[in-house]
Amino acid sequence: MIDLNELMTNSKILYLIIGSILTLITGTIAFAIQSLFKGIYKRKGRLHIFYKHIQGKASNTKAQIIKHKENEFQINIPLWVEFLNTTQVNKVVRDFNLVAYYKGNKIKDFKQINEYSKQRLPLANDGAYSFLIEGHNIQKYELYFILKTSNEIDEIKIRYYNLKNKPKTYNFLILDDNLLSGEINLDNHWNKIN
């Protein structure tokens, strides 16, 4: 049998062992660098969110304010919302909602309507206001929001939570000092919120 000392003194075998170790190390480093750049490339891009004021299927009306009593109002807002994910990574939008404010202070969240009509046709994402947007994808949903309040309101904002459960809030609509009954005059173009 060949002795271990003889193997270690044979330069060809020693070079073969050293070459194998170096190949293993450089291959591992190259794989790690490739994985890092691939991960960075996958995340390149972002999630774009657009909204459009529409005539809702639920009420067959556009956004409106209905006066019930002297100081009690109902605000109805139908929307189309479109998510455009330009990354290769799935994105999450959780609890997409409208929030009423007065002088910078939160008053109340709108109620998210899950379905409409006697046939119980679902709104949003099968009735849910949370969305999973796959990479390189665009998705459109019809949403419907209602708020019944007796409080003063001067602003409505869009709010949702991201994958890290951090709230994202964007301006949506500024209301006059006095809530008046009738249709809310809104443009019907696509608007970007982020």
Residue 156 identity (one-letter amino acid):
I
Angstrom distance (rounded) from CA 165 to CA 107 = 21
- Give the pLDDT confidence of 77-131 residue by residue, as tens digits: 999 999 999 998 899 999 999 999 999 999 999 999 887 766 677 888 888 999 9
Of residues 184 and 100, more confidence is placed in 100
**Closest C-alpha among 37, 26, 141, 156 to residue 79:** 141
Of residues 119 and 132, more confidence is placed in 132
Angstrom distance (rounded) from CA 143 to CA 124 = 5
- Give the pLDDT confidence of 137-171 residue by residue, as tens digits: 999 999 999 999 988 888 999 999 988 999 999 99
User: Which pTM value belongs to this model?
Assistant: 0.76
